[in-house]
Amino acid sequence: MARVYNFSAGPAALPEAVLKQAQEEMLDWRGSGMSVMEMSHRGKEFMSIAQQAEADLRELMAIPDNYKVLFLQGGATSQFAMVPLNLIGRTGKADYMNTGSWSKKAIAEARRYGDVKVIADTYVDDSFTSEPAAGSLAISADAAYVHYTPNETIEGVEFSYIPETGDVPLVADMSSTILSRPLAVSRFGIIYAGAQKNIGPAGLTITIVREDLIGNAMDHAPTMFKYETHAGADSMYNTPPTYGWYLAGLVFQWLKAQGGLAGMAAINERKAKALYGAIDDSGFYNNPVDRNCRSWMNVPFTLADPDLDARFLSEAAEAGLKTLKGHRSVGGMRASIYNAMPEDGVKALIDFMAEFERNNG
């Protein structure tokens, strides 16, 4: 068996130790005689898995008691609708920041439900390469909430600060940055993330909601799209994505063993610094993002000659470095280096890049 270094943006690499544990427990979860996939979500075995996963996530992120943690389906994309359906009704208005491809989609969806004001827009010359200046944000007093995307997965732009929104709840799509470093959860009204980048397998979506924001959904919102439905049933109103929930729980335990989010942050910072350093020190590779807001998780870069892209990708794949092709909207390469990407993987990529430059630069 030869496992590669997988730089996919999502679904992304999982920690090998987690996959091995899941493999060991696949046929018989701890003497239950069943796979987790075969268990009733309401049975005591799965209930213990579910509760342990939530407890570990709460501990890792230091989630205050007045927040609910929901284990949902539908991906971050469903949250693009669920957030306005549950929150915008209070005033009919919401503020959004447009800082990349995912913000853009969130904005388009929210416009179906209310009056959306774009209070920051970093789209310049066909691309997003910067963050809005903290002082430039004019939050509308009558906004029901402010929405932003702390890490834009496609462009590789990550906010260097948490926006100050006063009494207006702040909503964050953290799909590609959740759990990458410690976070002051109390600064947010809602945090949501699809699991397939930094949590676990695709099919699970985690939403962390401040309790006072639950219970205000529009009357016509589908039952499954109301936070109150899930909050009132411990995320078991219907059958939850049980296996994804279990695997996420294994990832949370793995994260605790890495020193929690402070430990992860130190590793992630080292990985990102090494890769950006290699890019900036070469005359051959380029990353277009402002240095103060470069993502720790998604690192897009281009080659001096785009005609070499195909050769770069095929030689990288031969060297065991897979899924480096950039998003079609940005071009070039993208190395996603989430929590599960070991430092050795980043080092292998840097060494390969240097060699490719020597041979082709």
Q: Where are the alpha helices (DSSP H) in the chain?
A: 16-24, 44-61, 75-87, 101-110, 227-231, 242-257, 260-281, 309-318, 343-360
Tokens of 322: 């897979």
Q: Which is nearer to ligand PLP, 194 or 201 (CB)?
A: 194
> What type of residue sits at position 95?
D
Q: Using the rule CB under 6 A, which residue among 6, 86, 122, 153 binds ligand PLP? A: 153
Q: Which is nearer to ligand PLP, 6 or 284 (CB)?
A: 6
CA–CA gap between residue 327 and residue 311 (Å, rounded): 17
Tell me, residue by residue from 35 to 54, as one string, x for binding to ligand PLP by CB under 6 A and - for no binding.
Answer: --------------------
The residue with tokens 């870069």 is 301
Q: Using the rule CB under 6 A, which residue among 10, 132, 156, 244 binds ligand PLP? A: 10
Q: Would you count residue 99 as binding ligand PLP (CB under 6 A)?
A: no
Parallel/antiparallel/unpaired status of strands 333-336 and 298-303: antiparallel
Q: Which is nearer to ligand PLP, 10 or 300 (CB)?
A: 10
**Residue ranges in 157-196 that form contacts with ligand PLP under rule CB under 6 A:** 173, 175-176, 194
Burial (CB count within 10 angstroms: exposed 0-12, middle 13-18, buried 19+), residue 359: exposed
Count CA within 13 A, CB hemisphere, residue 204. Answer: 24
Minimum distance, C-beta of residue 106 to ligand PLP, in the bound complex (Å): 7
CA–CA gap between residue 235 and residue 108 (Å, rounded): 27
Minimum distance, C-beta of residue 192 to ligand PLP, in the bound complex (Å): 9
Q: Which residues are catalytic?
A: 102, 173, 197
Q: Residues 275, 296, 264, CA angle at the centre, nearest 5°?
A: 105
CA–CA gap between residue 133 and residue 127 (Å, rounded): 17
What are the C-alpha distances in Å from 355 to residues 307, 314, 316, 342, 350?
17, 14, 11, 20, 9
Q: Residues 133, 192, 324, CA angle at the centre, nearest 5°?
A: 75
Minimum distance, C-beta of residue 197 to ligand PLP, in the bound complex (Å): 6
Minimum distance, C-beta of residue 178 to ligand PLP, in the bound complex (Å): 10
Name the one range near ligand PLP by CB under 6 A: 12-20, 51-59, 70-78, 179-187.
Answer: 70-78
Q: Using the rule CB under 6 A, which residue among 52, 77, 258, 286 binds ligand PLP? A: 77
Tokens of 112: 């179906």
Q: Would you count residue 241 as binding ligand PLP (CB under 6 A)?
A: no
Q: How many residues bind ligand PLP (CB under 6 A)?
A: 12
Q: Would you count residue 76 as binding ligand PLP (CB under 6 A)?
A: yes
Minimum distance, C-beta of residue 153 to ligand PLP, in the bound complex (Å): 3
Q: Would you count residue 102 as binding ligand PLP (CB under 6 A)?
A: yes
Minimum distance, C-beta of residue 52 to ligand PLP, in the bound complex (Å): 24
Report helix, strand or coil for 303.
strand
Q: Which residues here bind ligand PLP, judged by CB under 6 A?
A: 10, 75-77, 102, 149, 153, 173, 175-176, 194, 197
